[in-house]
Amino acid sequence: MNYTECLAYLEKLGDEVLTMKLGLQNIRALLEALDQPQLQFSSVVVAGTNGKGSVSHFLNAITTACGIRTGLYTSPHLVKVEERFVVGGSIVEPEVLASCLTRVKDTIARLQLPHHPTYFEILTAAAFLWFAQEEVELAVLEVGMGGRLDSTNVVDPLVCILTSVGLDHQKFLGDTLQEIAREKAGILRAGCASLMAPQPEPVRRVFLDEAASKKVHLHEFDDSAVEYLECTEGRYAFRFRGLRCQLQIHGRHQVQNAALAMEAFELLRSSDHQATGSCIKDGVESAQLMGRIQRVQEKPAVFLDGAHNQDSARALAEFLTQHTRRPRTLVLGMMRDKNMAEVLKILVPCFDRVYLTRVDSHRAADVEELHNLLPSGIPVANPHDAYDQALGSCATLVVTGSFYLVGEILGKI
C-alpha cells in the first residue's frame, strides 16, 4: 500500500474509540507473527486520565536531549496520523509509515484472529515495527485507554508512570474512580520502577494496594518538592531537583507534568541510563506540545486546547482567568460520551460569548445537544465558520472541548 491507500485502510477501520476492543490476545498474536518488535528496545509506559500526553512529551524531550535515541508513541493525532510516531524528535515519513502499515496488514491477512485488529492495535504494532527498524534505545509509550488491557501493555518496561486520574471513558473503564484506577494500575509489574502523580485518596489507595499485591515499589511524587517561580504570560519557571527550568508551554499544571517526567528520568538513570543535569534542563525547556493551551495567534490571542473532561477544563479555566484578557470568546465542540454539562459549567463563566459547533466524528455531539445544555450559546454547525465568526470582537479566543476539534482548526490555520 502507498500512503494514500494506508489512510483509506485506516479510515475503513472506523472511529478508534467506538471500535475499541480492550484486550491483549489480538495484539500479542500479531506481534508474535511480526517477530516481537516491542521486545527489541527498552520502554516506559505512561497511563492516566490527564497529563499522560504531556508527561510523555516531556520525557521524550529529556531523553532525546540527553543523547538517548528515543521513540515516542502518543494518541490521538491532531492533523495527520504521522504525529503519533516520533524518533529522535522527528515524526515518521509518510512512505515509511506506509511500509510499516503494509507489513502489519499483510501479517493480519495470514492470521486467524478472533476479530480484526482495531485502528489502535494496528497503529501500535506499526509503531513497534518502526521503533525496532530505527534501533531506538528507548520507547516512551502513552497508553491509549485504561492500561491493563491497552495494546501498549505488552512491553517489559523499565519505568511505569501513573499520571493524575479522574472520570473519563466510564463506558469502557468503570463508573467510579476506584474502577478506573484499577484499569490504569494494570501497567504495574514486578521489577518495573514505578511512579505516580498526586492522586485523589481513593485512587491512591487502589494504586498502593495494586503495587503491594505485585510487590512493586511505587514512588509517590511529592509536589511540595517543586518550587514555582515567576510566570511570563502563563509560561512558568520552576525549580526541581536543583534545576531551574523555564517552560515554553502554557499553564501552571504543566509544571507538575514536567517535574514528573524529570523524576521518571531519575528512575531511568538509576536503572540503565546516565545523563547530566544540563541535558535534563535542555530537554524540559525545549518541549513543545500541540493542542495543549497552544497559542497560535497574537491579536486576538487565540489558544487551542484539548480539554474534554472536568479536570482539564479546570486547568484551562485557571489559565484563562489568570493570564488572558476579556472579552473572551469560546468555540466549543465535544463528544457526546463526555460529561458535557460539567465541562460547560466550568468553562462558560470564563467567556463573554460561546459558539457551539460539531466535530467531524461519529461520536460528536450535535449542535442541538450542546444548545439544549447552553441556550445562550450561538449554534454554528461548521467549525471553520464558527472559528471565523468568533474572531470578530474579542481579546481572547479559545477553541476547546475535543482534540478532534483542535485538529480541525489547526488544519485550517
Which CATH number is 356's domain given? 3.90.190.20
Q: Indicate whether 267 and 302 sit together in one domain.
A: no
Q: Indicate whether 298 and 247 sit together in one domain.
A: no
Write down the pLDDT at residue 195: 97
What is the mean predicted confidence (pLDDT) over 397-406?
95
Q: Indicate whether 279 and 299 sit together in one domain.
A: no
Q: Indicate whether 185 and 96 sit together in one domain.
A: yes
Q: Indicate whether 279 and 392 sit together in one domain.
A: no
What is the mean predicted confidence (pLDDT) over 112-118?
88
Q: What mean pLDDT value characterizes the chain?
A: 92
Q: Indicate whether 262 and 113 sit together in one domain.
A: yes
Task: Judge whether residue 306 has pLDDT over 60.
Answer: yes
What are the pLDDT digits (tens) for 340-378? 999 999 999 999 999 999 988 888 999 999 999 999 999
Task: Judge whether residue 68 has pLDDT over 80.
Answer: yes
Share of the chain above pLDDT 90, in %: 82
Task: Judge whether residue 272 has pLDDT over 60.
Answer: no
Query: 58-62, 204-208, 273-277, 321-325: which has the minimum mean pLDDT?
Result: 273-277
Confidence tier at 197 by pLDDT (50, 70, 90): very high
Q: Indicate whether 324 and 249 sit together in one domain.
A: no
Among the candidates 252, 286, 320, a domain finishes at 286
Among the candidates 286, 316, 344, a domain finishes at 286
Our count of domains for the chain comes to: 2
Q: Indicate whether 114 and 253 sit together in one domain.
A: yes
Write down the pLDDT at residue 191: 86
Write down the pLDDT at residue 276: 67
What are the pLDDT digits (tens) for 235-265? 999 999 999 999 999 999 999 999 999 999 9
Secondary structure, 3-state, the chain: CCHHHHHHHHHHCCCCCCCCCCCCHHHHHHHHHCCCHHHCCEEEEEECCECHHHHHHHHHHHHHHCCCCEEEECCCCCCCHHHHEEECCEECCHHHHHHHHHHHHHHHHHCCCCCCCCHHHHHHHHHHHHHHHCCCCEEEEECCCCCCCCCCCCCCCCEEEECECCCCCHHHHCCCHHHHHHHHHHHCCCCCEEEECCCCHHHHHHHHHHHHHCCCCEEECCHHHCEEEEEECCEEEEEECCEEEECCCCCCHHHHHHHHHHHHHHHHHHHCCCCCHHHHHHHHHHCCCCCCCEEEECCCEEEECCCCCHHHHHHHHHHHHHHCCCCEEEEECCECCCCHHHHHHHHHHHCCEEEECCCCCCCECCHHHHHHHCCCCEECCCHHHHHHHHCCCCCEEEEECCHHHHHHHHHHC
Among the candidates 286, 320, 335, a domain finishes at 286
**In which domain, by residue range, is 386 found?**
294-412
Confidence tier at 145 by pLDDT (50, 70, 90): confident
Write down the pLDDT at residue 375: 97
Q: Indicate whether 102 and 235 sit together in one domain.
A: yes
